[in-house]
Structure 1
Amino acid sequence: MSVWNVNKAEQQLNKSFDNNSETELLKVLKNNSFLFYELYSRKYGIQPNFKEISFGGKYRCDFAWLNDNSDGPEWVLVEIEKPKMELFAKNLEPRAELNHSIEQVKSWIRYFNENPAEKRRIFGAVSRFKYILVAGDIEDWGTEAAIKWRAYHNSVDPIEIRSSNIFKKAIKIAKEKPEELWSFEENPKSLKSAELESYWTNYKYMDRWRQIMK
C-alpha cells in the first residue's frame, strides 16, 4: 500500500493549477515527496528534501536536498512559482513576474558567493549548488519562441527552468509504476529546515567532505 493518497494528491495538485495558486501548490508538494520525482537527477537512493530554508535574513528557498555524488556534495535549491504564471508578453519578451523569479534565484547565487561561510553553516559542505526554478504551464512553454528562449537560457544560465507539469508527470508514475517511488517512501513528506543541520551532521558521507571543505 502506498504511503501517499495519490488520488488526493492529484486532486489537490489540479486544484492548485486551476486556481493558479503557488500557496496551494507548495502545500501539496510538502506533503507528497514523490511529486519531486522528475526533479531528482537520481531516482534511487535519494536523500530527503527540506522545506523553507532561510539564509541571509531575507532569502529563502522553497526546497533543498543533497545529491551525495562521489565528486562532492551537490545541493539542489528549488524555487516554486505559480503553476500557470504568465511567462511572455506579446512581443515575446519575458514578463516581469518571470524576470523577478529569475532574479530572486540569482540573489541566492550572489549571497553564497559573497558568504562562503554561510554555505558551511547551513549545509555542512558544498561542492556546488544546482538551482531550479519551476514556473508556468507546459502549454505556455510549448510555443516555438518559448522553447527557443528556455533552451538558450538553460544552456548559458546556472538556473535550470522547468514547467510545473513535472509534478503531473510524477502523478502518472505513481499510478502506472509505483515501484519506481520506493526511495521517496523513506521520507514521504518534506522535512523541516530545523532538521537540516542534524541530518548532515549525522550523515557519514558528509564527514569527509566537511574536513576537506573547511
Structure 2
Amino acid sequence: MSTWNIIEVEKELKSAYDNNSEVELLKVLKSNSFLFYELYSRRWGIQPNFKEVSLGNKFRCDFAWLNDNSDGPEWVLLEVEKPHMKLFKQNGEPSSELNHAVEQVKSWDRYFNTHPSEKSRIFGAVSKFRFILVAGKKEDWETEDAAKWRAYHNKESKFEIRSSDVFNRPLKVAKEQIAELWSFEENPISLGHSNLEKYWKQYDYISHWRKILN
C-alpha cells in the first residue's frame, strides 16, 4: 500500500497545471516527495528535502536537499515557477518572467560567493551547489528558439532549467513501479526550514565534512 494517495495527488497536480498556479503546485510538492523523483540524482537512500529555506535575510529557495556524495556534500537548491509561465516573446527573446526567475536563482550563487561563511551556517558543509529552476511547459521548451536557448544556458550556466513536466512523470512510476519509491516513502513530505540545522548537526557525514571544508 502506498504512502500517498496517488489518484488524489494526480488530481491536485492537474489542478495546479490547469490553473497555472505556482501556489497550488508548491502545496502538492510539499506533501508528496516522490514528485521530485527525476530531480534527485540518486533515487535510493535519499536525504529529506526542506521547504522554504531562507538564504540570509534577502533570499529564499523553494526546496533544498543534500546529495551526500563520497566526494563531498552537494546541496541542491530548487526554484519552482508557474507551470505555464510565458517563456519567450514573439521575437524569440526570453520573457520578463523567465529573466526574473533566472536572475533569482543567479542571486543565490552571488550571495554565497559574497558571503561564503553562510554556506556552513545554513547547510553545515558544502562542497558544491546544484541550482535548478523548474518553469514552463515541455511543449514551450521544444520550440526551436527555446530549445537552443536552454541548451546553451544549461551548458554555460551554473544551474539547470527543467520544464514543469518533471513533476508529472513520477506519477507513472508511482502507478507502475511503486517499489522504486521506497526511499521517498521514508521521507514522504518536505520538512520545514527550522528542521534543517537540527538535521545536519545530527548527521555524522556533515560533521566529517565540516572538519575538512570549514
Matched, 1:101 2:101: yes
* Letter of the structure 1 residue corresponding to residue 199 of structure 2: Y
* Secondary structure of the structure 1 residue equivalent to 2:169: helix
TM-score (norm 2): 0.99
2:40 matched residue in structure 1: 40
Q: Structure 1: give runs of 5+ residues left out of the alignment.
A: none
Cα deviation, residue 58, structure 1: 1.4
* Secondary structure of the structure 1 residue equivalent to 2:87: coil
Matched, 1:190 2:190: yes
Equivalent residue pairs, number? 214
1:24 matched residue in structure 2: 24
* Letter of the structure 1 residue corresponding to residue 20 of structure 2: N
Cα deviation, residue 177, structure 1: 1.1
2:118 matched residue in structure 1: 118
* Secondary structure of the structure 1 residue equivalent to 2:38: helix
Aligned residues: CA RMSD: 0.6
1:170 matched residue in structure 2: 170
Question: Could you tell me how far apart the structure 2 residues matched to 1:191 and 1:178 are?
Answer: 22
1:136 matched residue in structure 2: 136
Which runs of structure 1 show a deviation greater than 4 angstroms over 4 or more consecutive aligned residues?
none
Q: Structure 2: give runs of 5+ residues left out of the alignment.
A: none
* Letter of the structure 2 residue corresponding to residue 130 of structure 1: R
1:208 matched residue in structure 2: 208
Cα deviation, residue 173, structure 1: 0.9
Question: Could you tell me how far apart the structure 2 residues matched to 1:132 and 1:184 are?
Answer: 19
* Secondary structure of the structure 2 residue equivalent to 1:43: coil
* Letter of the structure 2 residue corresponding to residue 205 of structure 1: Y
* Secondary structure of the structure 1 residue equivalent to 2:57: coil
Cα deviation, residue 41, structure 1: 0.6
1:68 matched residue in structure 2: 68
Question: Could you tell me how far apart the structure 1 residues matched to 2:190 and 2:82 are?
Answer: 19
1:92 matched residue in structure 2: 92
Describe the superposition over 1:32-61 as per-residue Cα deviations: whole angstroms up to 9, x where unpaired: 000000000111111000000012211000
* Letter of the structure 1 residue corresponding to residue 25 of structure 2: L
TM-score (norm 1): 0.99
Question: Could you tell me how far apart the structure 2 residues matched to 1:180 and 1:166 are?
Answer: 17
Q: Which moved more, 1:173-182 or 1:127-136?
A: 173-182
% of aligned pairs identical? 66
